[in-house]
Amino acid sequence: MPSAYSSQLLDNAVGQFARLPGIGRKTALRLVLHILRQDPAEVRMFTDAISTLRSDIRYCRCCHNLSDTDLCEICANPRRDARTLCVVESVRDVMAIEATHQYNGVYHVLGGVISPMDGIGPDDLNIDSLESRISAGNADEVILALSTTLEGDTTNYYIYRRLAPYNVKITTIARGVAVGDELEYADEVTLGRSIMNRVPFNGTNT
Amino acid sequence: MPSAYSSQLLDNAVGQFARLPGIGRKTALRLVLHILRQDPAEVRMFTDAISTLRSDIRYCRCCHNLSDTDLCEICANPRRDARTLCVVESVRDVMAIEATHQYNGVYHVLGGVISPMDGIGPDDLNIDSLESRISAGNADEVILALSTTLEGDTTNYYIYRRLAPYNVKITTIARGVAVGDELEYADEVTLGRSIMNRVPFNGTNT
């Protein structure tokens, strides 16, 4: 097949970039031409960062978060409250919660939610290891922070049942009208939850 | 500095992606997490395509187009009309013209336009080699296809003066109202050129 450009090397590199999600061939070409204008040393830094990432990154043996080491920075940090465990779907959720700087506990990354439609059952998720952490008496509270979809709710309930035999408090994150949002534009379910789960007002915590 | 994520490897890869034009840190993270879900073999194909491109690609010794070989596919193709030369600013312009499938001549990539503001003079561009091709009597026509900016016009005029001693026809691409565009929305300069450079109508070529 003749190449779309005058060079197979170019065509190949564009094709590889275009396989990334959200990157079309035009964007891919722009990125590749940018790379061609860079120093070989800079390009090597780029490719090295990617190869090293793929080959050297690990999943924390305790919480399954992405980590450079056997035990991730969060689990290994003695200043974190290791007895509060937040259960999330993915490493992106860990990043999102960390970015709030409001949480000082540790995590447990499930790696997804139970979804029979996609063929994902409890055994495909890190639920056994969650139960092990709890059964070993390593936590006082498990915070469920999964998405409020059918799959998320199913998973929440499944985990709730699995952890029921153990003496651990199970909570779920608060749902409600987002800070700064107007009430009239909030959906009914969210607004309903906001009212149901109202909290004492101390003069400032609106 | 502590990493923005729980992993320096991740942070490093995200940083490298985010240095590409038009890629912010959020997009970079999305791409990196996608790469983490891929097979190591696929990731190697990606990084190899980029390193090989950067190390092995050349510029055609004749037209300065990107090429895998010493002489690019277009210059080396005996079915192309080597005596018609289209002068363009960049390799992207070659791709744009090739995509029309309307041009069967060859190219000459200047690598930019004369721009005193940016410190780019004639010596920074592939103009000497253009003159060599013409002085050697290798072309009958030179088509100027630079952008209609002050810099493009300056460069056109400079090339026109440089090639004046040689017996070569110099043309410039037609400017006019784009196919499918409404006259009332065309700018005056473009519409004026469309009228000035009108062509005989044969019943179909609207």
- Write out chain A residues lying below 8 Å of B37, CB-based: none
B46 → closest Cβ in A33, A35, A50? A50
- Write out chain B residues lying below 8 Å of A67, CB-based: 6-7
pLDDT for residue A3: 54
- Mean pLDDT score of chain A, rounded to an integer? 90
A3, A5, A6: best to mutate for the B interface, most B CBs within 10 A: A6
Per DSSP, the three-state class of B76 is helix
Contact A66, A91 (CB under 8 A): yes
Contact A97, A145 (CB under 8 A): yes
Estimate the crossing angle of helix B91-100 against helix A25-36, to 10 degrees.
150
ipTM: 0.79
Count helices and strands in chain A by DSSP H and E runs: 8, 6
pLDDT for residue A125: 96
Q: Which two tokens stand for residue B112?
A: 């930019």
Q: Are strands B66-67 and B58-59 parallel, antiparallel or unpaired?
A: antiparallel
Q: Does A77 touch chain B (CB under 8 A)?
A: no
Please report, for residues A187, A197, B18, B129, the alpha-carbon distance to residue A179 in angstroms, rounded to integers and kept in the order given: 14, 15, 30, 64
A2-47 tens-digit pLDDT? 456 778 899 999 999 999 999 999 999 999 999 998 999 999 999 9
Q: Does B46 touch chain A (CB under 8 A)?
A: yes
- Write out chain B residues lying below 8 Å of A77, CB-based: none
Percent residues over pLDDT 70 in chain A = 97
Q: Does B13 touch chain A (CB under 8 A)?
A: yes
Secondary structure letter of residue B65 according to DSSP: -
Q: Does B34 touch chain A (CB under 8 A)?
A: yes
Q: Does B12 touch chain A (CB under 8 A)?
A: yes
A141-157 tens-digit pLDDT? 999 999 888 999 999 99
Report the gap between the CA of B113 and the closest CA in chain A (Å). Answer: 17
Angle at CA of residue A141, ends A135 and A146, nearest 5°: 100
Q: Mean per-residue pLDDT for A102-111? A: 94
Distance of CA B148 to the CA centre of its chain: 15
Q: Mean per-residue pLDDT for A196-203? A: 78
CB pairs under 8 A between A and B: 152
pLDDT for residue B183: 81
pLDDT for residue B185: 83
pLDDT in single tens digits along all 206 residues of chain B: 345 677 889 999 999 999 999 999 999 999 999 999 899 999 999 999 999 999 999 999 999 999 999 999 999 999 999 999 999 999 989 988 988 888 999 999 999 999 999 999 999 999 999 999 999 988 999 999 998 889 999 999 999 999 999 989 999 988 888 888 888 888 888 888 888 888 877 777 76
Chain B, residues 50-69, CB within 8 A of chain A, namely 50-57, 60, 65-68
Report the gap between the CA of A196 and the closest CA in chain B (Å). Answer: 34
**Is A1 a residue whose pLDDT tops 80?**
no
* pTM (2 d.p.): 0.77
* Residue contact A6–B98, C-beta within 8 A: yes
Q: Does A34 touch chain B (CB under 8 A)?
A: yes
Give the span between the Cα atoms of A127 and A15, in whole angstroms: 38
Q: Which two tokens stand for residue B165?
A: 């001693």
B1, B3, B9, B12: best to mutate for the A interface, most A CBs within 10 A: B9
**Is A101 a residue whose pLDDT tops 70?**
yes
